[in-house]
Structure 1
Amino acid sequence: MNTNPIDTKGNGPVTTTPVSIPGSAAFQAQYAGRDIAAGLIAGSMAIPLSVGIAMMSEFPIKVGLATVAFACLIGWINAWFKPGNYIGCPGIAAGLAPVLAVGVASFGLENMAFAVFLTAIFQAVIWKFNWQRYLLVAVPVYLVEGLLAGVGLKIALKFLAFTYELPAGMESTDSFLNGARIQMILISMGGYGLFVYLFLKFKNTQPAVPYFVIIAGGTILAQFMSVPMLSMEDTDLKFAWPIPHFDSALTAVYMVGFAVMLALIDVIEQVMSNAAIEKIDPLKRKCNSNNSLFAIWIANMGSSFFGGMTNLDGLAKSTTNRLAGAYTKFSVL
């Protein structure tokens, strides 16, 4: 029996192309193993990257890592109902690090929770009216790309001080290059050279290898060598209402303007990331930036209650997630 539909004009059977259903963005059993492996690999890269972004943003490292974990959870839950993309990896935004640092310097870290809360509100408005369609037209792309280009340099400069700074008790008045500094410089040069070599060798096949090696090597070295210049203060996560403490009404006005800028840059970065994520998706599935914004503003609003940072599906982490074999958002969980 002929199951093909008949053309009413008498041209014979009509050939139809089956429609491919992409499946769930949150979990697909057939890809579970690959997603778990990809999550471990992408996570190993995301940790040092998130540490650098948090430091550059003048936020506590623990707060930055908590923001990443919370954003990943929200992104995965949202993927069940409103998937924005299938392999995007949420986290703190590198491109926003300089802006957040300016905010900390201008308003104080204690008021940044309110800034992130306001940012989430403005992003919710953009999501509601689907205004992200017009933002890339209104804001030059080269402006955002220039901002992103400076992020890597600023992270490098931020970490450069760790190669020579010493605690006050270890400073030497006789010579700048004392034993502790020489040791740290040699470790830094060796680690940098090893990372570059491994990155170039495995970037297209196993991108997590250089991160695993450097993290493991650093952990082992720390057991046998003293590196007193590398110390971080432990910060407790505190859950509280994001209530600001302003000295004047003018400061509140500046805060609103700052939050608008923060929201716009975050949205633009997400839209640009989605355009790139769609191209690298292994199954060529379409992205929905409006759905991505839904997850972003919810995660930003939630993170403001523990003093967290802004988030989005970063391109660097998402690319690593893809190269590691991810097929769904289960990899970010």
Structure 2
Amino acid sequence: MFKHLNKDFPASVVVFFVAIPLCLGIALASGAPLFSGLIAGIVGGIVVGAISGAPLGVSGPAAGLAAIVLVAISSLGSFENFLLAVVLAGAIQIVFGLLKAGIIGYYFPNSVIKGMLTGIGIIIVLKQIPHFFGYESDPQGDWAFFQVDGENTFSEIINSINNISPGATLIAIIGMAILIIWEAVLSKKGKIFKLIQGPLVAVVVGIIYYLATQDSETMGISADHLVNVPVPDSFDSFMDQFTTPSFAMIGHPEIWITAFTIALVASLETLLSVEAIDKLDPHKRTTPTNRELFAQGTGNMVSGLIGGLPVTQVIVRSSANVQSGGQTKMSAIIHGFLLLISVVIIPNILNYIPLSVLAAILFLVGYKLAKPALFIDMFKAGWKQFVPFIVTILGIVFGDLLIGIGLGLVVGIFVILVKSYQNSHFLHIEKADNGGNIVKMELAEEVTFINKGAILKELNKLEENSFLIMDVRKTRYLDSDIIDILDDFKIKASEKNINIKIISQRGTVENPDSYRQFFNLDINPV
């Protein structure tokens, strides 16, 4: 675990700076205490990171759960009651892991996974534009396209362009320049530039800029556009930020319904993130999914017990980890310790970081997830890949993560059904001496009710005096619905003087009295 510390530590610093505004913003969007978001980030890094087998995945509070958390806190009556649901959700996730439910993540098409990554990348870029220009004071909140204040993502961008803060924009541009130059040029010049990462330099420059210009009305940065970490004035006030769940509510059905909902959604988000980040891993390592569910469940139990939001493995921080050169799960663990140290020792210093600098860091993360070249590659791969990819992106950008994935999966299944309909049989037609046609129909390996329409269409097109040769030697499964079609077609075939020969593994038969009886002997349909 310590072999690649020279790469894991710089990556953990980047993830740490990405995690700070995300933890606070997701807590704000969830209607929960801000400190609960930081607790979830610390637990996701240290507890989940230590147990997980994910080499590059980073866990913490997830934007995809914000709406569920917001409703749950209100419906359950108190934050303490909600924490009990988080603890129970963690226990349910542990059961999921023991039941080996982690395999579910592998049933999502690659086009949907790539669409998910791209959609999240686009959201990151769009949501950071107001922060980049120093307009939006809500730190990372309002992740939905249609926002509770009546605005939407695009109207917020227009508002930010019309209300540019010169100081915040200037330091964002400087930060962006540092990041690009550091990655494209300086990182290739010497080891010191690999050890000290560009995002860290950009943040330090941002802090210096804020302190140097805080008295300037024109070029200064307002306090509402800085990181806002709770600052306790004593040890007791620090401990008072932790909250324990109300176990007296454990018998209420609504608590269990909320717990199961959180466990299901958090597990799905985690498995999809695992699938996506494994694809980004340069070494193509595979995360043990059942162990990951166990780790996430343990993390949620710990987070709920001490007053934290539910955790999942999350794309943004995990992607930042990959893009920053992280090699092992030590980067996730170290980022958790950095969060813990920062909220205990240096909360005041963190509150000097301009959000516009963090926006510049996230810009690059989002761009790397949604590169224009990826759209071109998916388009060249054909409509069967491109359509689910685009639908997933649109669903995520204009809806949310689960809506986008659900729509992409539905389209992916529709594509499968269309191809199955088209590939049920192979047809070859020749002219016979009697003026009719010799039609050779070779059925596919599996023929189900989905193929019923295509086969029935071909049978009804047969002309009078035709000779149908049906080859089922490659067929391993023939649905009962298809056999019913053949039995019904027997009457029409005799009226049109159509002779039928069936070639199977057991031999050849012409015009059988009952197709069902023949196929039950030869191919056993379900």
Identity of paired residues, percent? 23
**C-alpha contact (below 8 Å) 1:92/1:309 kept by paired residues:** yes
Alignment of 1:162-181 (within 5 A): 162=137
* Matching residue of 2:60: 91
> Is 2:218 aligned against 1:243?
no
Q: Deviations over 1:49-103 (max 9, x none)?
A: 222222212222222112211221113321xxxx532111122122112211222
Work out the CA distance in 1 between the residues paired with 2:301 and 2:129: 30
CA spacing shift, 1:34–1:269, aligned 2, 3 Å = same
> Is 2:210 aligned against 1:221?
yes
Give the 3-state SS of the residue equivalent to 1:39 in structure 2: helix
Post-superposition offset of 1:198: 6.8
| Higher RCO (CA-CA < 8 Å; seq separation 6+) | 1
Work out the CA distance in 2 between the residues paired with 1:157 and 1:256: 39
Work out the CA distance in 1 between the residues paired with 2:247 and 2:130: 33
Structure with larger Rg: 2
CA spacing shift, 1:331–1:137, aligned 2, 3 Å = closer
Amino acid at match of 1:72: G
* Matching residue of 1:320: 320
Post-superposition offset of 1:271: 0.7
Query: RMSD between aligned alpha carbons?
Result: 3.9
* Matching residue of 2:264: 264
> Is 2:27 aligned against 1:49?
no
* Matching residue of 1:100: 69
Q: Which runs of 5+ in 1 are unaligned?
A: 1-26, 164-181
* Matching residue of 2:94: 124
* Matching residue of 2:38: 65
CA spacing shift, 1:35–1:200, aligned 2, 3 Å = closer
* Matching residue of 2:471: none
CA spacing shift, 1:46–1:242, aligned 2, 3 Å = same
Indicate the larger mover: 296-305 or 212-221: 212-221
Alignment of 1:1-333 (within 5 A): 27-28=1-2, 30-78=3-51, 83-107=52-76, 108-134=78-104, 162=137, 185-187=165-167, 209=198, 213=202, 216-217=205-206, 220-221=209-210, 224-225=214-215, 227=222, 229=224, 236-238=240-242, 240-244=244-248, 252-332=252-332, 333=334
Work out the CA distance in 2 between the residues paired with 1:310 and 1:36: 26
Indicate the larger mover: 292-301 or 197-206: 197-206
CA spacing shift, 1:134–1:37, aligned 2, 3 Å = closer
**C-alpha contact (below 8 Å) 1:93/1:312 kept by paired residues:** yes
Q: Deviations over 1:181-223 (max 9, x none)?
A: x9995555556666677777778989x7467635752574267
Give the 3-state SS of the residue equivalent to 1:325 in structure 2: coil
CA spacing shift, 1:100–1:239, aligned 2, 3 Å = closer
Post-superposition offset of 1:117: 0.8
TM-score for both structures, normalised by structure 2: 0.45
Q: Deviations over 1:20-59 (max 9, x none)?
A: xxxxxxx04x312111121112212221222222221222
Q: Deviations over 1:223-253 (max 9, x none)?
A: 724846567765733253542559xx8xx32
Work out the CA distance in 1 between the residues paired with 2:41 and 2:100: 25
Post-superposition offset of 1:134: 4.1
Give the 3-state SS of the residue equivalent to 1:258 in structure 2: helix
Q: Which runs of 5+ in 2 are unaligned?
A: 139-161, 188-193, 216-220, 232-237, 335-526
**C-alpha contact (below 8 Å) 2:81/2:245 kept by paired residues:** no
Post-superposition offset of 1:104: 2.1
**C-alpha contact (below 8 Å) 1:237/1:306 kept by paired residues:** no
Work out the CA distance in 2 between the residues paired with 1:113 and 1:228: 31
Indicate the larger mover: 283-292 or 152-161: 152-161
Work out the CA distance in 1 between the residues paired with 2:137 and 2:243: 31
Amino acid at match of 1:124: I
Work out the CA distance in 2 between the residues paired with 1:62 and 1:184: 30
* Matching residue of 1:6: none
Amino acid at match of 2:271: V
CA spacing shift, 1:113–1:286, aligned 2, 3 Å = same
CA spacing shift, 1:195–1:103, aligned 2, 3 Å = farther
**C-alpha contact (below 8 Å) 1:300/1:311 kept by paired residues:** yes
Post-superposition offset of 1:290: 0.7
Give the 3-state SS of the residue equivalent to 1:111 in structure 2: helix
**C-alpha contact (below 8 Å) 1:95/1:151 kept by paired residues:** no
The alignment covers a number of residue pairs equal to 277
Work out the CA distance in 1 between the residues paired with 2:229 and 2:15: 24
Give the 3-state SS of the residue equivalent to 2:247 in structure 1: coil
Work out the CA distance in 2 between the residues paired with 1:162 and 1:216: 21
Give the 3-state SS of the residue equivalent to 1:90 in structure 2: strand
Post-superposition offset of 1:270: 0.9
Post-superposition offset of 1:110: 2.6
**C-alpha contact (below 8 Å) 1:136/1:268 kept by paired residues:** no
Amino acid at match of 2:210: L
**C-alpha contact (below 8 Å) 1:94/1:148 kept by paired residues:** no
* Matching residue of 2:424: none
Work out the CA distance in 2 between the residues paired with 1:99 and 1:199: 35
Amino acid at match of 1:297: G
CA spacing shift, 1:31–1:214, aligned 2, 3 Å = closer
Give the 3-state SS of the residue equivalent to 1:125 in structure 2: helix
Post-superposition offset of 1:259: 1.6
Work out the CA distance in 1 between the residues paired with 2:331 and 2:121: 27
Amino acid at match of 2:327: Y
